[in-house]
Structures are given as C-alpha cells and as structure tokens.
Amino acid sequence: MHKYWGLFLVLILTFSCKEKAATEQQIQKTELAIAPIVKPIKRHFGFNLDDFTVKMDTIRRGDSFGELMLQHKVDYPKIARITEDFKDTFDVRRIRVGKPYMILKSRDTSETAQVFIYENDVINYTVVDLRDTVRAYKEKKQVKFVEREVSGVINSNLSEALLEQGIDYMVTHNLANVYAWTIDFSMLQKGDKFKVIYKEKYINDSIYAGSEGIDAAYFEHNGKPVYAFAYENDSLKSIVDYFDESANNLRRTFLRMPVEFGRLSSRYNLKRRIRYYGNKIRPHKGTDYAAPIGTPILATADGTVTESTRRGGNGKYVKIRHNGTYSTQYLHMKKQNVKRGDFVRQGDVIGWIGMTGNTSGPHVCYRFWKDGRQVDPLREELPKAEPLAETLQPAYFNYIAPLKDQLDCIAYPPQPVEDELLAGELSALTE
Ligand SMILES: [Zn+2]
C-alpha cells in the first residue's frame, strides 16, 4: 500500500512540474511573436552615437584627464572648472589605468570633445558633459536580472559540485553563508544534494556582471532536508534573513565554524594524550580547523575585539567578546585584520590562516569561552536567532509557497549510477 502511495505522489509532482514548464514555454513564445521590429539605434550611455565621432579607449599609464581633454581641444578654463566644481562627482586624480573611457567628439572638422564618459566599473559610469554649461553626473547601466536554477549532488565538496557546472564562485560562497549555522560544511557526505534559485546580472542583455544573493535554496545533508528562503525581517533596516518552511530563522547567534571550508582536524578533548610529550595528558581546549595558509578567518558572532596580539604558543591571535557570557579566540594566524577595540560583525574577516606559535600545520585553533571557561562549541546548544515575527508570517507563507514548488521541481544533474543501486531499483520495479 505504502509503495503505491509513494508512486502516486511522484506522479502528481512530475505532472505539475511539467505542466508549469509548458505554460512558461507558451508565454515565452507569445512574447516572441508579438515583439515589434524596430530599427536599431546605436544608443550607448544615453547618447545617440550617430550624432558624434566616437573614440573608445582605456586609460593608459601616464594619462591624465586634463591631458586627454587638451588633446581633444577642450580649453583650459573648462578643464579647470570640471576639476574644481565637480570634485565630488568626478575626482580627476582618481582615474585608474586600465579603465575604459569614451570621448564623443563633434562631427565637424574641429572634432572637439563634447562628452567624456568614464567607466568606474562594469555597472557604474561617470558622464562629463562639456557642451554649453559644463556638468558631470554619475549613471548606472541598465542591468537585467535573469533568474537561474542550479542543483547538484556532492561528490567531494560543494565548490567542486558548482564549479564543474561553470557556476560563479559567489554562488558557492553565498550558499555556504545561508547554511553556515545549520550545516557543517566540513562534514558533508557524498550524496548530499542541493538546489538553488538566484539571479544573475547582465548588462546590455549579454555581459555577465555577477550574481545576486540567493532567493531560495534546498540542502539535503545526511538525508535531512533544510529549506531556506530569503525574507526581509526588518523593513526599516532592510535586514534580509533566511527562514525555513516553518518560518524558523536559519541563523544562529554563532557561526558553526570560523572558516568557510575548513576540515575539522582536532576536537576539544580534555583527555588528549600526545605521544610527543611522552603520552602525557595534554588537554586540547580548542577546536582545530585545517585550511590552506591565507584562508580568511571569520568572526563567528558580532562583538568587540579584546585582544589582537602575538603571545607564545598561541602565535598571532584575536579574541572577541560577544556579550557577558561568550567570547571566542582564534589562534596561529598568519596575520590579524583587526585591532583591539574594533567592533566586528558576524562573518567579518578578522585574520588569515597561518602557522604562528606551536603548530605542526596550517590551521586555526578556535577557542570558545562561556562564563570565563573554555567549552566545546560543537557540544554547546548555541542560542538561536528569533523566528520570523508572527505578524509577518501569513505574508511569508504566501510568498514562499510558489518558491517551494519551484525548488521541488528542479531536477538534479544526472549522476553516474552505481551498479548495486541500479540493481536494487530494478528489483523494486519488478516486485
Ligand atoms: Zn588547537
């Protein structure tokens, strides 16, 4: 009976996913059919390029704004005015070698520069309009957001599972952040699965300009599924947190570990015996995470830096006080990134993995202090962040319903099937 029920559910699921896909395809086709045919205008940065003689180049070593303008017949007082009056919008001393720029020149024989456009980065640019009254302003290129669905099955680690599909490393980073409190990424199992919905940014429809934060995700670790939906928790401060399908916050007040992808190499152990010391008991009051030298070390919670120094076997270390109860300490750093008295947010880079002090390999020794005593953070029930406010929950459940359906409909990439598994499935089918 159970078996049939399961089969029935699977059929429904497959059907509704297919049905949805068909509708989407129809919509796309309709849009294509009614798209009007328009004569393309060479518009760029809000200017009709046909009106000018266009020079495109990148800033070279030794170039200065003044020099470039003089070459293009802009008189000196005008240049001086831009340098002075528009310092806040366009600081001419800050143009950088390698950045693209464009000069729109008059189409007459004088070829005087009319407009100077400097690309600050792939999205932002600055326009200096030299016609009539000089003015300078900042603009953004039109960015198109394209939703993307990605899924994977872990063979060795998360970043590999995503990188082999050509996915931006930022997605791995973001996914690790979403689940940093609920899943220990140093303990991933072969066969763990994930699905992600996020948006990619494109400029002029074609130039990839990075990815946005994750909208929704699903992670199955050790057979236990955890959904995650981005939702604005506090509209005043526009704080976005991730919540599960029951509106529980996925965040804890502490990160599970101080490195994004470290290997747990030695646990807190009060009875540790070390052969090197004649098999004597040498308690290990820290939790060690091995990672390559230079890997960022993250503050596991908000707090104030109480120590950032170098001392004996600890090497270079940082200690953070989080509240009256908890402090954390991070040893053997290559270099610290914070000073005593600094306030740090959870996830801030406070230093980098190194080998200073007593250590046989690159790792961070993470020490977790509770009421002045060192305890095992992996055994502590870490305080949970507040669930979504009850007043926000009805809107939240409405919002996530279609997203959850969408996640459930994402298929996993085909995996090499192991013979044993295949045989098992076949026998189940013929039973
Ligand atoms: Zn240690």
Q: How far is the CA of 125 from the centre of ligand 1 (A)?
A: 48
pLDDT greater than 90 at residue 198: yes
Please give the Cα distance from 50 to 282 (Å, whole number). 78
pLDDT value of residue 345 = 83
Q: How far is the CA of 285 from the centre of ligand 1 (A)?
A: 7
Q: Residue 417: left if φ>0, alpha if ψ -120 to 50, beta else—which one? A: beta
Asked whether 198 and 215 are in contact (CB, 8 A), the reply is yes
Q: How far is the CA of 274 from the centre of ligand 1 (A)?
A: 13
pLDDT greater than 70 at residue 339: yes
Q: How far is the CA of 400 from the centre of ligand 1 (A)?
A: 42
Q: How far is the CA of 379 from the centre of ligand 1 (A)?
A: 16
Q: Provide the token pair at 317.
A: 């270390």
Element (H, E) at 47: strand 47-48
E strands, 51-192, in order: 53-58, 100-105, 113-119, 124-129, 135-140, 143-153
Q: How far is the CA of 367 from the centre of ligand 1 (A)?
A: 8
Q: How far is the CA of 286 from the centre of ligand 1 (A)?
A: 5
Please give the Cα distance from 95 to 223 (Å, whole number). 53
pLDDT value of residue 302 = 83
Please give the Cα distance from 79 to 116 (Å, whole number). 12
Q: Write the CB contacts of 280 (distance below 8 Å, at least 6 apart in sequence).
A: 273, 274
Segment 254-277, tens digit of pLDDT: 888 899 887 888 888 887 766 655
pLDDT greater than 80 at residue 42: no
Segment 48-96, tens digit of pLDDT: 888 999 999 999 988 999 999 999 999 888 999 888 899 888 988 888 9
Question: Which range in 186-190, 214-218, 370-374 is most confidently predicted, on average pLDDT?
Answer: 214-218
Give the predicted TM-score (pTM) of the model: 0.59
